[in-house]
Structure 1
Amino acid sequence: MQPLRIGIVAGEASGDILGAGLVRALKQRYPQARFEGVAGELMLAEGCQSLYPLERLSVMGLVEVLGRLPELLRARKRLIRHFMDNPPDVFIGIDAPDFTLAMERALKAAGIPTVHYVSPSVWAWKRKRIFKIKQSTDLLLTLFPFEAEVYRPTQQNLRFVGHPLADVIPSRLDLDAARRQFRTDETVGMVALLPGSRGSEIKYLARPFLETARWLQQRRPELTFVLPAANAYRYEQLQQLIDSAFPDVRVQLVLQQSREVMAVADAILIASGTATLEACLLQKPMVVAYRMAGLTYRIYSRMIKSRWISLPNVLADEEMVPEVLQQQVTPEVMGPLLLRALEDEPYRKRLRRVFGILGEQLRQNASERAADAIVELLEARDAER
């Protein structure tokens, strides 16, 4: 019997995290299975073969995508052709819906079972996408419990699996080591700065985040700041910015380790994205900011239906953390909000309680549940044959 062949494509770093856990869980059920597609470092470490560099797919924003569109379309076309010529037993697209759903649709039409891992944000914008998703995927794996209701009109084959981050935070953190590395004095306040990992995020957020650190330092001189860089390239980019424009700010630039930095911080200034969920699971007060190209924002803002952009607020269904957008991303706006996050103890206590409840809801052993759902899909297909 031939070993199971699994096509799997992740579109960015967060998808690499999800993919690594899923590959690991599927290998427990199919030890001889082979995985190939688009993988990051974590998926590669689990034995997945990558046919295309993951970092070339990681791009965000309508305007930003336009400049890369020909390359992205060529890459998708090549990947579809590869899987058509070498049909896997199942194809799994992880997040990156603009890229992966079109692949799933083409492969499903060719008779290949397809899975989409992470529901697109149809609850926030472009809800009519649920019909294309139904056409594209045989099984949808969702991370959040409220998402099932959105798909009821299409009777989508759907499984809520929880979020893998909730399964590992904070159990895999060495908090004592992190405190020794990033905190010299527990009585001195520490603020984590996380402007994001994408080039566009660094472009629009790194400077105002550091300006906010300067604003806070002038009012609370004892505060320290730690800024994790996603990779060596971002480290050099941020170091140049600090050296040239912020030599007076007491900021420690570190390579990666964002989760450890957040875990020992007293408050976090953070770009909207998956990292806000990590901060939520760590029960940390935060100020969420986002800024993008003006045209991109004007287009997105007309389509978005959700009241909030950050996952902590969406999950709580109320504003637990402040959100700062576009022209409001200034130290004069973000600084006072961070002071409140640092100093308002009743607010901090309530936030810890609500975030603790959210963490329990998401702690479902997600990778195992996702793998079980895929096994059921494959067994059902075998039974049909």
Structure 2
Amino acid sequence: MKLFLVAGEASGDKLGAALMAALIDLVPGVTFAGIGGPQMEALGLQSLFPMEELSVMGLLEVLPKYRQLKRRIAETAQAALETAPDALITIDSPDFCLRVARIVKAARPAQKTVHYVAPSVWAWRPGRAAKMAEVIDHVLALLPFEPPYMTAAGMSCDFVGHPVVAEPRATEAEATALRQTLMIGPDQPVLLCLPGSRRGEVKRLMPRFAATVAALRQDVPGLRVLIPTVRGVAAEVRKMACRWDEVPNVISDAAEKRAAFATANLALAASGTVSLELAANRVPMVIGYRMNWLTWHITKRAMLIDTVTLVNLVSETRAVPEFLGRPCRPKPMARALQDLLRDPQRRAAQVSAMETTMQRLGEGGAAPGLRAAQSVLAFLQRG
């Protein structure tokens, strides 16, 4: 069996790696080609080009790189056609992935296509499902309420669970060891700052998060700040962190990142799947996000929901405070973090929402990577 996979950012690399690992166990001799990051490469994928080239988000952010992205789309589609895989599996990053799928389908209409991560049509632009159905045959959904939206548009779809429920978590001993390594006292509060996995996000959010931390420190003496990050933006994060009044610890090692999540008391995070990583570790959080003004204006007008945080959506609560767009300002975010530290009821409400979220995403069941692999195989067997 030959599969062509395309992932465009760190979260997609993680999904792709879990899927690959399960397929390797289920299908002896399976081979992979395509685009991926370090986790997919570790399982044998030779990426056509660095995945980080595709980690761009937002209308104005994409425009300067349009020609390069268009060339990469064409290169990827041509490679997929030359590979002649049993399935083209695109993973998230719809602006890139679905353009690749469209070219491939136009040249080879019988090509079987799978997209991993359903588009959030329940949040904005519901017409995307019908457009996606023109080039995608089968969808692997991360959220339990998504399959009906996909099947209504004409695609088959399985809820396979969110990968966060199967990710390893640090032990108490590992968390204690990290505190000792970084010389953090047992009673010192630890704040995680998570400014995103894209360069544009980091550039916009790091200065705001720095000012938020500075404001919080005035009321929380001894506060220690850790910044877990990913390969694609680690250098940029370290460079910008050096400008903070008190330089935080930037962590990119996977084991140390798990320990950081296990030892944290609270977090300030960009909007995205990181909110689920925090939920899995029961770390109370505040979400802050800022896009380019025009991108945010267009997105806000199209939104069908009043929250973008997955913990809020899946748990059907609004326990996690959000500061999106213009409200993403240091003082209000610092106050919200201070409230989480001081108000046990606020913390308890978040933890309860996190418990509900993890249960609904499949915690305690079969690993999502395995469920995704089984779904792909069942789809291929249907012919």
If the TM-score is normalised by the length of the shorter chain, which range does it land in?
over 0.9
String of CA shifts for 1:152-205, please: whole Å, max 9, x gaps.
Answer: 422421000001111125378843433434562222211111111211111111
In the other structure, the counterpart of 1:210 is 210
Given that residues 138 and 379 in structure 2 are in contact (C-alpha distance below 8 angstroms), is that contact kept between their aligned partners in structure 1?
yes
Q: Please tell me whether residue 127 in structure 1 is matched to residue 126 in structure 2.
A: yes
Distance in 1 (CA, whole Å) between partners of 2:206 and 2:131 is 37
Q: Residue 316 in 1 paired to residue 318 in 2?
A: no
Secondary structure of the residue aligned to 1:20 is: helix
* Residues 1:30 and 2:33 aligned together: no
Alpha-carbon distance, 1:353 to partner:
2.2
Task: Give the 5 Å matches for 1:55-94.
Answer: 55-94=52-91
SS in 2 for 1:346: helix
CA positional deviation for 1:250: 6.0
Alignment of 1:28-177 (within 5 A): 28-109=25-106, 110=108, 111-170=110-169, 174-177=174-177
Other-structure match for 2:378? 376
Secondary structure in 2 matching 1:50: coil
For 2:112, the aligned partner's letter is: P
The answer to which of 140-149 and 95-104 deviates more is 95-104
Q: Percent identity?
A: 34
Alpha-carbon deviation of 1:237?
3.5
Give unmatched runs, 5+ long, in structure 2: none
- Gaps spanning 5+ residues in structure 1: where? none
Paired residues of 1:107 and 1:114 also in contact (CA < 8 A) = no
Q: Which residue of 1 aligns with 2:324?
A: 325
Q: Which amino acid aligns with 1:201?
A: E
How far the C-alpha of 1:151 sits from its partner, in A, is 2.7
Structure 2 CA distance for partners of 1:234 and 1:128, relative to 1, 3 Å: closer
> Secondary structure of 2:382's partner?
helix
Indicate the SS of the match to 2:121. Answer: coil
Q: Are residue 252 (structure 1) and residue 249 (structure 2) matched?
A: yes
Q: 1:181 to 1:343 in 2, by over 3 A?
A: farther
Q: Cα offset for 1:301?
A: 1.2
Deviation at 1:214, TM superposition (A): 1.1
How far the C-alpha of 1:293 sits from its partner, in A, is 1.0
Note if contact 2:37-2:51 (Cα within 8 Å) is conserved in structure 1. yes
286 and 182 in structure 1: CA distance in 2 versus 1, 3 angstrom threshold: farther
Mapped to 1, the partners of 2:96 and 2:235 lie a distance apart of 30
Partner deviation per Cα, 1:198-239 (whole Å, 9 max, x = no partner): 1111111101111111111112222221123433x7444344
Q: Which residue of 1 aligns with 2:280?
A: 281
TM-score (normalised: structure 1)? 0.92
- Give 1:178-217 correspondences, 5 Å limit: 178-182=178-182, 184-217=184-217
SS in 1 for 2:282: coil
Contact in 2 for aligned 1:7/1:83 (Cα 8 Å) = yes
User: Aligned pair in 2 of structure 1 residues 172, 71: CA closer, same or farther (>3 Å)?
Assistant: farther
Secondary structure, counterpart of 2:186 in structure 1: coil
Q: What's the Cα RMSD here?
A: 2.0
The range that moved more, 361-370 or 117-126, is 361-370
Deviates more, 1:103-112 or 1:93-102: 103-112
Q: Distance in 2 between matches of 1:172 and 1:302?
A: 43
* Count of matched residue pairs: 375
Q: Is the 8 A contact 2:170 2:258 kept in 1?
A: no
| Cα offset, 1:104, TM superposition | 2.3
The separation in 2 between residues aligned to 1:223 and 1:66, in whole angstroms, is 40
Amino acid at match of 2:350: L
SS at match of 1:219: coil
Q: How many angstroms apart in 1 are the aligned matches of 2:241 and 2:87?
A: 47
Q: Deviations over 1:228-282 (max 9, x none)?
A: 3433x744434443444x33x2633333444432221111000111111111111
